[in-house]
Amino acid sequence: MKVKANYCDGITANFKVLEVSIGPSGLTLPSGEVWVYEKLKLIASSKLDGSVTYNNKDYDGPNLTLVFDKGIDDPARDYLKRFSSHLTGDSNWHFVRWQIVTTAVILCLMFCFYLGYPYLNRAIVSVIPNSWAIKAGNLVVDGLYNEYSSNACHSADGDYALEKLVETLEIEGLSYPLRVEVVDHQQVNALTAAGGRVVIFNGLITKATSADEVAGVLAHETGHVYYQHPLQGLINVLGFSIVGSFLGGDAASVAVVGLSLSYSRDLERMADEKALEILQDKKISAQGILDFFERTDKKEKNEIVAELEDIFSTHPLSKERINIFSKHIAENEIKGTSISALSAEEWESLQNICNESNE
Amino acid sequence: MPNVSEGISSVNENTQHSIKYVGEASMLLPIVIMNLFLTIVTFGIYRFWAKTNIRKYLWAQTQFDGEPFEYTGTGGELFMGAIIVFFVFILPLLIGIGVLSTNFPVLTPIIMIALYPLFVFLIGVAIYRAQVYRMSRTKWRAIRGAQLPRSAAYGWLTIKYAVLYFISLGLLMPYITCKMWNFMMDNKRFGSAVFRCEVKSKPLFKIWLVTYVAVIVLLGGFILVVSDAFITQNFPVIIGAYIFLFVATTVIFAWFQSKLYNHLISGLKFQDVGFEFDLEAFEFLKLSVVNTLLLVFTLGLAAPFVLQRWVRLFCENITINGQINFDLIVQSPESGPQFGEGLVEAFDLG
Ligand SMILES: [Zn+2]
């Protein structure tokens, strides 16, 4: 079956009018040249006049527009459609299939990124100079002090007790020395900023029933410092979420928040494990930190809200966590062998560290 | 290359050139639905491919002399463009600003001030580069378009005219618009053929002044009425005044914009061919209002349909005068940039 066609050679913008014959395997041009159906790429198909335009995957250049005199119901068009409905653009399945494949590839790449991301993050952390980390930590902590319009508490005895506690928990392998401060705020919390800066909220100390509780929490924070988690967190916020929102818009930002939440739980687990290791090594009972967690467990709902605000300032609490600590105590600690982190006198000084500085 | 020497060579018949849009909402709908679904599934990353699908459709449904345009860009190119801009550009810029302002806090305000012209420059560059990409991915009768790579010059023009715009309190707007438009259009090519554009801003000044004064009068009147009504707590009057202000400014700007577009497009030349754009203010107003409502009530989901309506309006109102000699137009030597439009993504201008 013959049909009129406009042939554009891709060299000039003019065209030649040809008569093309529609065969079972392809379109035969007057020159004898055959454009086989498998090689045709549909550029356009008009529902208005029925015309269809192709180029040929074998040549980078020419294109061919079939012009049907009787428009969309032309017998030649129907004849062509019999070989494949893709040829006239009446079926979009080729196109849809291709888009689904594209989506699958995107999803695979996203999954690879998800799996590889912790390694990428650590790689970035390892190239950031320590001095930058310390600066970043100072920025965060200073910002916090500004927000609470308060400062680090100091008192002679309190400072001594705090220093003793930090020294007791000191471990090897830290990228920077620990800098622990107490801030005069009633919140029961502690946070670790980049560069080894740890801030304990006074509320945590005053509500604590023993020095071992504070020691336990501090051991946990030391774990974060050991793994440089705060720096990882900063990179998450600055890097990952910017990339996410840049590439994917708002939907990706939501996904990134979800991702960093699950990621931060992993970090908490790592810090807990390190804390238990430190405590056991220093012969301090983990009962203290367990008591602390059990007491604050009741406030879990509020903690999650706080966690959204700053994923690295708070510690998601769960039954799972309490179980791990109880199990550790039952398996590894022999009653009466552990030593107290601070003497009763030192503990009292630490509890009053903010009171004395206010006088 | 196939040999087609036996074909009948077409003669340049003396018929009027025409541009026609043949797409319909019903054909666009399945594409939009698929795009939406896959974009959600991929947390938004699919949008580069979604955008490409819409363009391929719009191009294919636009016919010049009965032959469709072809969009040869791909979603992958847009995606890579965005990635590249992020890593060679956004990230270094952010790190640079961060490092500078933490090490030299004194410099922070200076950096912030310096960022404004930089952003204006980059917005110009972004808009221009997007055209470079799009033109290179546009084909008709297998001949490529091109936008000459002069994005930096366009960026500087943007800064220059942004300053002029503020200094003149917007009064020089027609002059600025014409200059930018001329630069953009003068650097467009189709194959070896050149677009020329020398739009003069003089005829626009009168209507711009009318618009300008009308808006000032309206605003002044509005403030008088509303401040009075506030004292007497006359809320119907306040609401009425707001509605009146909104409607009146919409009408005035529609009037001005239709005149502006008519003037800009009518100043375009291609070979010896001229264009005439004859859009009536009322028609423009009607379409703007409906399109805005469409976007508002679908929370932006109708954007591809809105785009289609604009393309159709454009095609329906343009006339092409004169004969193009297609034999003189040969394939464009440049194949265009490898990746596309990342910078436009960065500024959300796409
Ligand atoms: Zn923690």
Q: Give per-residue pLDDT as tens, B321-331.
A: 988 888 889 88
What is the radius of gyration, based on Cα positions, of chain A? 34
Q: What is the dihedral of CA A124, A130, A134, A139, to 10 degrees?
A: -40
- Say if the Cβ atoms of B7 and A238 lie within 8 Å: no
User: How large is the average pLDDT for residues A254-281?
Assistant: 78
User: How large is the average pLDDT for residues A80-86?
Assistant: 84
Q: How many CB atoms lie within 10 A of CB B97?
A: 16
The partner residue sitting opposite A13, judged by closest CB among B59, B63, B191, is B191
Task: Find the residue in B nearest to A62 (Cα).
Answer: B142
Q: What residues contact A205, with CB distance under 8 A and at least 6 apart?
A: A182, A214, A350, A351, A353
DSSP for B22-50 reads: ---HHHHHHHHHHHHHHHHHTTTTTHHHH
Q: Using CA atoms, how far apart are residues B139 and B150, in angstroms rounded to an integer?
A: 21
Q: Is the pLDDT of residue A140 over 70?
A: yes
User: How large is the average pLDDT for residues A284-305?
Assistant: 70
User: How large is the average pLDDT for residues B12-33?
Assistant: 85
Q: Using CA atoms, how far apart are residues B300 and B292, in angstroms rounded to an integer?
A: 9
Q: For position B5, what pLDDT does the model report?
A: 42
Tell me if residue A152 falls in helix, strand or coil: strand
Residues of chain A in contact with residue B41, where contact means CB-CB under 8 angstroms, are 103, 107
List the single best residue of B18, B43, B327, B348 to mutate versus A (max A Cβ within 10 A): B43
Q: What residues contact A323, with CB distance under 8 A and at least 6 apart?
A: none
Q: What is the mean pLDDT of chain B?
A: 87
A162: CA distance to ligand 1 center in Å?
A: 19
- Confidence tier at B291 by pLDDT (50, 70, 90): very high
- Say if the Cβ atoms of A62 and B44 lie within 8 Å: no
Pick the most confident of A56-60, A150-154, A230-234, B193-197: B193-197
User: Does B321 reside within a domain?
Assistant: no
| CA atoms in the 13 A half-sphere facing the CB of A131 | 3
User: Which two three-digit tokens encode residue A234?
Assistant: 């900063």
B231: CA distance to ligand 1 center in Å?
A: 57
**Beta pairing class for A52-56 and A63-67:** antiparallel
Q: Which is nearest to B65 in space by CA: B264, B268, B278, B315?
A: B315
Residues of chain A in contact with residue B82, where contact means CB-CB under 8 angstroms, are 246-247
Q: Using CA atoms, how far apart are residues A7 and B298, in angstroms rounded to an integer?
A: 42
Q: How many CB atoms lie within 10 A of CB A121?
A: 19
- Confidence tier at B33 by pLDDT (50, 70, 90): very high
Q: Domains of chain A: which residue ranges?
A: 2-91, 92-117, 128-358
Question: Tens digits of per-residue pLDDT, B106-140?
Answer: 888 888 888 889 889 999 999 999 999 999 999 99
What phi and psi, each to the nearest 5 degrees, are found at residue A110?
-65, -40
Q: Using CA atoms, how far apart are residues B329 and A111, in angstroms rounded to an integer?
A: 48
- Confidence tier at B1 by pLDDT (50, 70, 90): very low
Q: Name the one residue in this structure whose structure tokens are 């917005």.
A: B123
Of B90 and B26, the one with more pLDDT: B26
List the single best residue of B141, B270, B323 to mutate versus A (max A Cβ within 10 A): B141
Task: Find the residue in A nearest to B31 (Cα).
Answer: A96
User: Does B345 reside within a domain?
Assistant: yes
Task: Find the residue in A nearest to B25 (Cα).
Answer: A47
Q: Is the pLDDT of residue B175 over 90?
A: yes
Q: For position B302, what pLDDT does the model report?
A: 92
Tell me if residue B194 falls in helix, strand or coil: strand
Q: Using CA atoms, how far apart are residues A32 and A44, in angstroms rounded to an integer?
A: 25
Q: For position A307, what pLDDT does the model report?
A: 46
User: Which two three-digit tokens encode residue A132?
Assistant: 């930058």
Pick the most confident of A297-306, B139-148, B231-240: B139-148
Q: Using CA atoms, how far apart are residues B318 and B316, in angstroms rounded to an integer?
A: 6
Q: Any idea what the Cα angle at residue B177 is, between residues B175 and B183, rounded to 5°? A: 100
The answer to whether A7 and A16 have CB atoms below 8 angstroms apart is yes
Q: What residues contact A174, with CB distance under 8 A and at least 6 apart?
A: A196, A222, A225, A226
Q: Is the pLDDT of residue B208 over 60?
A: yes
Inform me whether the C-beta atom of residue B220 falls under 8 Å from chain A C-beta atoms: no
User: Which two three-digit tokens encode residue A52?
Assistant: 């269809």
Q: Using CA atoms, how far apart are residues B174 and B284, in angstroms rounded to an integer?
A: 19
Q: For position B252, what pLDDT does the model report?
A: 93
Q: What residues contact A90, with CB distance under 8 A and at least 6 apart?
A: A45, A81
DSSP A314: S
User: Does B205 reside within a domain?
Assistant: no
**Helices of type H across A38-84:** 75-83
Q: What is the ipTM of this complex?
A: 0.79
Task: Find the residue in A nearest to B32 (Cα).
Answer: A96
Give the range of the structural domain holding residue B151, as residue numbers without chain letter.
Answer: 78-198+327-350
For chain B, positions 52-111, list CB contacts with chain A under 8 A.
53, 59-61, 63, 66-70, 75, 79, 82-83, 86, 90-91, 94, 102
Residues of chain B in contact with residue A47, where contact means CB-CB under 8 angstroms, are 22, 24, 27
- Domain with residues A2-91, CATH architecture: Roll (2.30)
Q: Any idea what the Cα angle at residue A106 is, between residues A105 and A110, rounded to 5°? A: 115
Q: Which is nearest to B261 in space by CA: B178, B161, B146?
A: B178
Maximum distance among all alpha carbons in chain A? Answer: 105
Q: For position A6, what pLDDT does the model report?
A: 92
Of B258 and B104, the one with more pLDDT: B258
The count of domains in chain B is 1
A125: CA distance to ligand 1 center in Å?
A: 18
- Say if the Cβ atoms of A49 and B22 lie within 8 Å: yes
- A250-264, A329-343, B294-308: least confidently modelled range: A250-264
Q: Is the pLDDT of residue A298 over 70?
A: no
- Say if the Cβ atoms of A99 and B70 lie within 8 Å: no
- Say if the Cβ atoms of A99 and B82 lie within 8 Å: no
User: Which two three-digit tokens encode residue B7?
Assistant: 């074909």
Of B189 and B234, the one with more pLDDT: B189
User: Does B266 reside within a domain?
Assistant: no
Q: Using CA atoms, how far apart are residues A258 and A246, in angstroms rounded to an integer?
A: 17
- Confidence tier at A308 by pLDDT (50, 70, 90): very low
Q: For position A61, what pLDDT does the model report?
A: 83
A143: CA distance to ligand 1 center in Å?
A: 20
Q: Using CA atoms, how far apart are residues B73 and B341, in angstroms rounded to an integer?
A: 11
Buried b (16+ CB within 10 A) or exposed e, A333-356: beeeebebbbeeebbebbbbbbee
Q: Is the pLDDT of residue A131 over 50?
A: yes
User: How large is the average pLDDT for residues B257-262?
Assistant: 94
What is the radius of gyration, based on Cα positions, of chain B? 23
What's the count of helices (H) and strands (E) in chain B, helices before strands? 12, 11
Question: Tens digits of per-residue pLDDT, B177-204?
Answer: 999 999 999 999 999 999 999 899 999 9
DSSP for B117-146 reads: HHHHHHHHHHHHHHHHHHHHTEEETTEEEE
Q: Is the pLDDT of residue A303 over 70?
A: no
Single-letter amino acid code for the residue at B296: V
User: Does B83 reside within a domain?
Assistant: yes
The answer to whether B239 and B280 have CB atoms below 8 angstroms apart is no
B296: CA distance to ligand 1 center in Å?
A: 44
What phi and psi, each to the nearest 5 degrees, are found at residue A6?
-100, 125
- Say if the Cβ atoms of B27 and A62 lie within 8 Å: no
Question: Tens digits of per-residue pLDDT, A63-76?
Answer: 999 999 888 888 88
- A152-156, A237-241, B127-131, B142-146: least confidently modelled range: A237-241
- Measure in Å the smallest separation between the Cα of A20 and chain B Cα atoms: 10
**Beta pairing class for B67-71 and A40-45:** unpaired
Q: For position B146, what pLDDT does the model report?
A: 92
Q: What is the mean pLDDT of chain A?
A: 82
User: How large is the average pLDDT for residues B313-320?
Assistant: 92
Q: For position A300, what pLDDT does the model report?
A: 52
Residues of chain B in contact with residue A54, where contact means CB-CB under 8 angstroms, are none
Q: For position B162, what pLDDT does the model report?
A: 95
DSSP B11: P
The answer to whether B230 and B204 have CB atoms below 8 angstroms apart is no
The answer to whether A16 and B10 have CB atoms below 8 angstroms apart is yes
- Confidence tier at A262 by pLDDT (50, 70, 90): low
Q: For position A306, what pLDDT does the model report?
A: 47
Question: Tens digits of per-residue pLDDT, A173-184?
Answer: 888 888 999 988
Q: For position B173, what pLDDT does the model report?
A: 93
List the single best residue of A72, A106, A108, A243 to mutate versus B (max B Cβ within 10 A): A106
